[in-house]
Amino acid sequence: MYLTQNPVLQHELLANLRRPRAFLLLFAYVALLGGVVLLAWPQERVLDMAQPQAAKRLVGLFFLGQYLLASLMAPSFAAGAITGEKERLSLEQLLASPMRPGAIVFGKLLASLTHLAVLMISSLPIVMLCLPLGGVSPYEVLGAYVAMTSSVALFGMISLWASSYFGRTVSALVVSYLMILPLALVGVTVWNTLERLGPLRLTIATTVVPVACFAGCVVLWEAARRRLLYPPDLGAGGQDAIDLETEGEDAVGLYIDRDAFPDKLFAPPKRTDFLPEGANPIYDKEMRSEIFSGGTLMLRVVIQISMVLAIPLMAWGLYLQPQHAPWYIAYVLLFNMLCGPVFSAGSVASERERQTLDLLLTTLITPWQILWGKLLAGLRVSTVLTSFLMWPVLLACLMPLYWTESAWNLVTMAGYFLIVALSCVTTSLTGLLCSTLYSKTSTSLMATYLAIITLYLAPLAARYFADTFYQGTAAAGLVTAAGAVSPFIAAFALPLDIESSGSAGQVAGQPVLFFAHCVWAVAYNLALLGLLVWLFKARWRVAD
């Protein structure tokens, strides 16, 4: 029942692999990896096989890109496996069948990983083309694939575990990414660190990594199986409103008190009096009833995980080695990338899913009020949560270490705040636009993530690629100029003049990239705002 006679596995495989998007994704995946290899292919007519550094860089870049792509795609396949059943109100029928909960979890997991396996196997011919260049043995390729396959399997199980604990796909996606991205970055760091220890890295990749990932999968599989065996949210369908006071009685760890500061900044208490004259009813509804109607479990998990990850990075990047302050700002931007779109990507799409959008558009509330109410509510929650990670930066500004060396350091810190503020606006506006265009919240969120990743991370990847293979050429200079689109590059472009532990920590920076990013971000957000105003100006454009 687990493998050969598993109807869940058979149904998921037939439903997923026969869809047109499966073939489009396969084409895009292979085309992207093939394009990277083609652009990075050595241009010399004669290759020095005794020093195959170019071939090593090429294969390393290929596996790095494939590993990060597979890690980012794993939650998109597995995070909605069980929450999708809840949202379609079909989980009860599935649990009432003769199938065991363990077989259901195993079928969902294997179906999700099969699609990723097809993508990774399809890349084998590309990497085989690189082997004749020398520098990389088939055993290293085998070890890389074993480690990558094991890691992706663990990431898929993490996403499926989150899918069993949350009622909505959006919540499962956010928590999955927040848990997977740190693990993926640790994996990349360890792999690159052990590059000079070839035999040791190969041994760890083929023994330690698979065993550790398998153990993690077993633990999470058991937790998901028990969750389905005694489901506390049976019948909710991910749509029932949850009383936050009742939820707080059973909360473990962080507790959100809507009447206390600073919790009321992002989760104000429910209104017990009449709405003031001239107030925006959409904004009031979104803030007090809509955003957290499904409970605060996702929010509490996100806050606790982000704070735990921030503490060591904050201590290292802001206080012990302050010349590395941009790395902490990069972490804050990454957090905003994950959590910022969540509160805007479902603002309009959720109305369509509940079939209440048409009713809302026929009321006396103007489209202008609907637009600003939805936008400001999501922006407020996103900004407040992100600012929780920025207060250590404000505290660092009070340290003499930053302003005694050079007064311009305080200007740099102000630039960090401006970059993060623009990022909050960008993620919220992008999420609201996708929510207006798409009919499902999960689809809207994935489209938002794709747009944000393209804007924020694609310039980073292009700059790393150009510096590695086209250093000193006109193409590298063009890529550097285009990198101003990314706030990560803008944060690292700001200068710092700090001396720590007797060693100079001066960072010259490229302020022109910072100003270029600010101009681009303002222009991009104004364009999105103009498009949203045009869409909401006529009610029929956003109707079902």
The count of C-alpha atoms lying within 13 angstroms of the C-alpha of 476, restricted to the half-sphere facing its C-beta, is 11
Q: What is the pLDDT of residue 46?
A: 56
- pLDDT of the residue at 421: 95
Lowest mean pLDDT among 76-85, 105-114, 318-327, 510-519: 318-327
Q: What is the mean pLDDT of residues 485-502?
A: 79
Residue 505 parent element (H or E): strand 503-507
474-493 mean pLDDT: 83
Weakest-pLDDT range from 1-10, 181-190, 246-255? 246-255
Q: In the predicted model, what is the mean pLDDT of residues 492-507? A: 64
C-alpha closest to that of 9 among 85, 114, 91, 116: 114
Kindly state the average pLDDT of the residues 48-59.
66
**pLDDT for residue 57 is more than 80:** no
pLDDT at 31: 87
Identify the pLDDT of residue 420. Answer: 95
**303-330: average pLDDT:** 86
Q: What is the pLDDT of residue 253?
A: 62
The reported pLDDT for the residue numbered 248 is 57
d(CA 478, CA 130): 27
Number of CB atoms found within 10 A of residue 508's CB: 9
Whether residue 425 has pLDDT greater than 90: yes
Question: Which pLDDT score, from 0 to 100, does residue 243 have?
Answer: 56
**Would you give the DSSP letter of residue 88?**
T
Count helices and strands (H / E) in the chain. Answer: 29, 2
Task: Taking residues 161-177, report their average pLDDT.
Answer: 88
Give the pLDDT score at 503.
46
SS3 500: strand
> pLDDT of 82-138, one tens digit each?
988 888 888 888 888 888 888 899 999 998 888 888 888 888 888 887 777 766 778
Looking at residue 245, its pLDDT comes to 57
Q: What is the mean pLDDT of residues 385-411?
A: 80
Above 80 in pLDDT, residue 431? Answer: yes
Q: Which amino acid is at 137?
A: S
| Three-class secondary structure assignment of 350-373 | HHHHCCCHHHHHCCCCCHHHHHHH
Least confident of 244-248, 294-298, 437-441: 244-248
Position 341 pLDDT exceeds 80: yes
Cis previous bond, 262, omega within 30 = yes
The backbone region for 244, taken as left when phi is positive above 0, alpha when psi lies in -120 to 50, beta otherwise, is alpha
Q: Residue 205: what residue type?
A: A
Query: Does position 383 have pLDDT exceeding 60, yes or no?
Result: yes
- Compute the C-alpha angle 147/150/155, nearest 5°: 120
User: 182: helix, coil or strand?
Assistant: helix
Q: Measured between alpha carbons, how far is 40 from 63 in angstroms, rounded to an integer?
A: 13
Residues 269, 270, 273, CA angle at the centre, nearest 5°? 115
Which two structure tokens, joined as six digits, stand for 251? 């909360």
pLDDT of the residue at 240 = 52
pLDDT band (50, 70, 90) for residue 246: low
For residue 523, pLDDT over 60 is answered with yes
Q: What is the pTM assigned to this prediction?
A: 0.86
Token representation of residue 147: 């480690």
Predicted confidence at residue 502, as pLDDT, reads 46
Distance CA 421, CA 480 (A): 23
Share of the chain above pLDDT 90, in %: 24
pLDDT band at 520 (very low <50, low <70, confident <90, very high): very high
pLDDT at 350 over 60: yes
